[in-house]
Chains A and B, each alone.
Chain A
Amino acid sequence: MKPRLVLGLFSLLWALGPTAARADGPMARYQGMHPLSPHQGAFCYIDAAHMHRVPPPDLRVYLVAKDGTNLFIGDPVALGYDGPKFGYFGPHPLAVPATLGLPPTFCYITGPHYHAAPQPPSAALVEKAGVTWYLGPLPPPADPGRVWINEVHPIAGYAAPKVDIGMAPPGYHAFTVAPPSAAPAPTPAATGKAKAALGPVPGAPARAAKRPVAPPNPTRGPTAPGGQP
């Protein structure tokens, strides 16, 4: 610890702006772009490691690394992002920063969706009908907590890529994702860790049907449409 630097920074902050009130505690860490709380369309476009005073309001669309860094893994367009976008259909490997120490990770979003970054070149990824399809080995069964990502409602006006399973390239096999109702409700502790390959539920339907009850929010209680707490 170099207290002099902290003191210097404090002096800078106090000298440059309005009075700085004492914060409540550690700031939340983020890696890359992510929707801003309360997930009503505002988006953070900082594509680097950064910190916010406000923690994620909905961990269904995040992975949390061991150091507490939150990595957004949902469909950014569905939550307000308006930058360059790349279409996908169904589950596929996710490119996550190696610095986070996360295991190989899949996106378990069923159906058409977007991400802000293209996939690195891979023989298992084929582009057709304007979206990327994953033709590789079956992904590990999803952690029950990860399946909840399909229950996050997009903001009003969101339009997913106009593609369906009938447009799949030859060799594509639809992946099955356990319906959230078949899994225990995720807890903050369960969803707050990067477990990409837990909770095998083979043979489950590809997409959860309309569920009779609203999915629980892993961190902030029941959610409203749009993923807001």
Chain B
Amino acid sequence: MITRAPRSAPASGRLPAIRTARIHSLVLALTLLLPLPACRHSHVSGTASTDVVLSAFKDGGFDVAGMNVVQPDTFAADHCIAGRISELDVLVCEFETDEALAAGETDVRRGWDTVNVDTGVVLHNGRTMLTIADRAKRDPSGRAIARLLNAFRALP
């Protein structure tokens, strides 16, 4: 149950103490609550961020407007973006650990065995995973996919 502090002005001598208490409460609440969503949506340090990946794709001449942050929907990945680039389904995820990355790659490949994908690629750079799926033979020669892979591999 939420209780509100009275809005009426307190006595002048109590004001600083009440404000200090409120600020302390707010800081405590933020300290406790902010990490909860952040642990699912913040970028992972020590590996290429999805922002950098998108920037590289953009520099490579691709339209990345169709890419959006998505809920990773897994405890394995920490931050993901997904969407379409050149009519290809693209998913980029950041992982906290090598084990989670390996599990994610394996799961993606297994997933393709049960859905209708003509061409699928899973590649990682550090602990950032790039997944490209061509489901409608939009890129039968793989030239666009190869360009995306090259841009991804070139990231530091």
Nearest first, the 5 closest Cβ-Cβ pairs linking A and B are: A8-B73, A46-B142, A4-B74, A5-B74, A50-B121
Which B residues lie within 8 Å of A36 (CB)?
A: 140-141
Closest B residue to A7 using CB positions: B73
In chain A, residues 1-56, which have Cβ atoms closer than 8 Å to a Cβ of chain B?
Answer: 1-13, 16-18, 20-23, 25-27, 33, 36, 42-54
Give B residues with C-beta under 8 Å from A. 70-77, 80, 82-84, 89, 91, 103-104, 106-123, 131, 133, 135-136, 140-143, 145-146, 149
- How many A-B pairs fall under 8 Å by CB? 130
Do B110 and A6 touch across chains, with their CB atoms under 8 A apart?
A: yes
Which A residues lie within 8 Å of B136 (CB)?
A: 17-18
Which B residues lie within 8 Å of A23 (CB)?
A: 112-117
Query: Given that A4-B74, A4-B76, A8-B73 are contacting pairs, would A47 and B149 also be in contact in the complex, using a CB cutoff of 8 Å?
Result: yes
Query: Given that A1-B110, A45-B146, A46-B119 are contacting pairs, would A16 and B89 also be in contact in the complex, using a CB cutoff of 8 Å?
Result: yes
If over half of B's interface residues share one DSSP class (helix, strand or loop), that class is named, otherwise mixed; here it is: mixed
Instruction: State which of A5, A22, A26 has its C-beta within 8 Å of the C-beta of B77.
Output: A5
Which B residues lie within 8 Å of A8 (CB)?
A: 70-74, 80
Which A residues lie within 8 Å of B121 (CB)?
A: 46, 48-51
Cα A35 to Cα B47 in complex, Å, equals 34
Do B143 and A45 touch across chains, with their CB atoms under 8 A apart?
A: yes
Cα A118 to Cα B58 in complex, Å, equals 30
Which A residues lie within 8 Å of B118 (CB)?
A: 52-54
Do A13 and B133 touch across chains, with their CB atoms under 8 A apart?
A: yes
Which A residues lie within 8 Å of B135 (CB)?
A: 13, 17-18, 20
Do B83 and A45 touch across chains, with their CB atoms under 8 A apart?
A: no
Which B residues lie within 8 Å of A16 (CB)?
A: 82-84, 89
Do B114 and A22 touch across chains, with their CB atoms under 8 A apart?
A: yes
Do B108 and A44 touch across chains, with their CB atoms under 8 A apart?
A: no
Closest A residue to B114 using CB positions: A23
Cα A196 to Cα B149 in complex, Å, equals 31
Do A2 and B116 touch across chains, with their CB atoms under 8 A apart?
A: no
Cα A53 to Cα B124 in complex, Å, equals 22
Cα A4 to Cα B93 in complex, Å, equals 14
Do B113 and A2 touch across chains, with their CB atoms under 8 A apart?
A: no
Do A2 and B76 touch across chains, with their CB atoms under 8 A apart?
A: yes
Instruction: State which of A21, A33, A51 has its C-beta within 8 Å of the C-beta of B112.
Output: A51
